[in-house]
Each structure stands twice: as structure tokens, then as C-alpha cells.
Structure 1
Amino acid sequence: MTLAVDPGSAEPPFRQLKGQIVEAVTRGRLTPGTRMPPVRKLSDEAGVSTATAAKVYRELEETGVLESRGRSGTFVAAGDVRRAALIRAAEEFVALASASGASADDACRAVRDAFERDG
């Protein structure tokens, strides 16, 4: 799987890479146990700094999408993919809500309203 950053996108490279990995795991293109490229290789291929690539992996490990196995590398975890996708969607929503000047209360109210309409 090739991960790439679109330099013309308004979305930061970090979010682009993180989203691509979560989407690939959610859609089954990356399955549990798949070895991810080393941080340096990911940074070279995607054209981002090693710090950015490491941050992507670190945050995906925190949410259970990836797992580090020390010197063996980073692998797709057998964790809760649905939760990881929900976290990604929430992060995107928070970024949009914050950019529009919405408060946390406004954002939560909007989510509740959406659930009531779609529920």
C-alpha cells in the first residue's frame, strides 16, 4: 500500500497519513498483523519529516490501530477498528468545528441533533 500526501490539500500531512492508514485498516486493505514500513521509509515515501511519520504511528498505537513490537517493527493491531474510525471522524469534526468558531457545547449539540435526525 502506498501512502501519499497531497501538498495541495488543506488537511495537514499528519492528518492525511493518519486517515489513509485508518481507512485502509477499516476497509480491510491492511489486515491485522500486517507489518508497516519503518518510520524513516514512511517519511521518505510520503515526503514528510520523520517526526511527522513517528507521530502518526504513535497516535495510531494509542488508539489501538497499530502496535509496536520493538525492534520487530510496527504492525496493524487486531484492535477495535470501528473505534479507530470513530476517533478519526471525531478528530476531523473537531477540527472543522474549531475552525468555524464553534464551542465544544455547540459541537456536542450538533452531534446530538444529527443522531436524532438519523437515528
Structure 2
Amino acid sequence: MILSIDPGSAVPPFEQVRAQVAEQVRAGTVPPGTRLPTVRRLAEDLGLATNTVARAYRELEQAGVVETRGRNGTFVRASDAATDSAALAAAQDFVRQARALGLDDETALGWVRAALRAAQ
């Protein structure tokens, strides 16, 4: 797993960590069952506070991307095929509606990002 933090980014460091781990898991670069680095080790490697990495891991766990097994560490969870299938169907429905409205890809993605921010 390769992560990098852009200190000049407007995106907070915990979100950069969370998003990069989630994307690598989604892409299959980090497969299910992989043990993630400890919070302390990853924080040290990235030059971040341990609380920053801990927050990213907590959010990944809440999203079902990873699971913490106590002293054994934090591991990438196996994907839930039913959830993946439902998410894909919802995305395909949105794309059909966006196309019917004449939205280009960037505009459609902008609306998705806005909806995700509003849901937080």
C-alpha cells in the first residue's frame, strides 16, 4: 500500500489517507485480508499525528472497508457482493437519469459530490 500526503492540499490529511486507502481497496490493489500498517507506523511513515491516521481508520471501519481485530491489527474486509451489486445498480440508474437530463460527466459528478457532502 502506497500513500502520500499533499500538505498543500485543501483536503485534510485524514481524508487524504481515508480516500487513498478506500480507492486502493476498491481497485483491488490492496486485497481483502491484507493487514494495514499500525496507526503509529503509518503516522510515522507519513509524518502525521497518530490521531489523524486513527481518524482515517475509524472512518474506513465505519464505512465497512476495514475491520479492527483488537491487538491483531486492522484488516481489509472482504467485499459484500450484494452491497456492491446494489451500489452499481444505483449508480447505473443515476447515469441513465443524468443522460436523460443532458448532463455531461463533469456536471453529473459534481452533483454526486454535492450529494455526498450534504449527506455527511
TM-score (norm 2): 0.67
**Greater C-alpha radius of gyration:** 2
**C-alpha distance in 2, partners of 1:44/1:115?**
45
Could you list the runs of 5+ residues in structure 1 that have no partner in the other structure? 87-112
Q: Deviation digits for residues 6-44 of structure 1, max 9, x if unmatched?
A: 112111111111010011001100000000000000111
Q: Secondary structure at the match of 1:34?
A: coil
Q: Secondary structure at the match of 1:64?
A: coil
**C-alpha distance in 1, partners of 2:80/2:10?**
29
Amino acid at match of 1:62: Q
**Which position in structure 2 is the counterpart of 1:11?**
11
**C-alpha distance in 2, partners of 1:12/1:114?**
29
TM-score (norm 1): 0.68
Following superposition, which runs of at least 4 residues in structure 1 exceed 3 angstroms of deviation?
79-83
**C-alpha distance in 1, partners of 2:7/2:23?**
19
Q: In angstroms, what is the RMSD of aligned CA positions?
A: 2.4
**C-alpha distance in 1, partners of 2:8/2:96?**
33
**Which position in structure 2 is the counterpart of 1:118?**
99
Percent identity among equivalent residues? 48
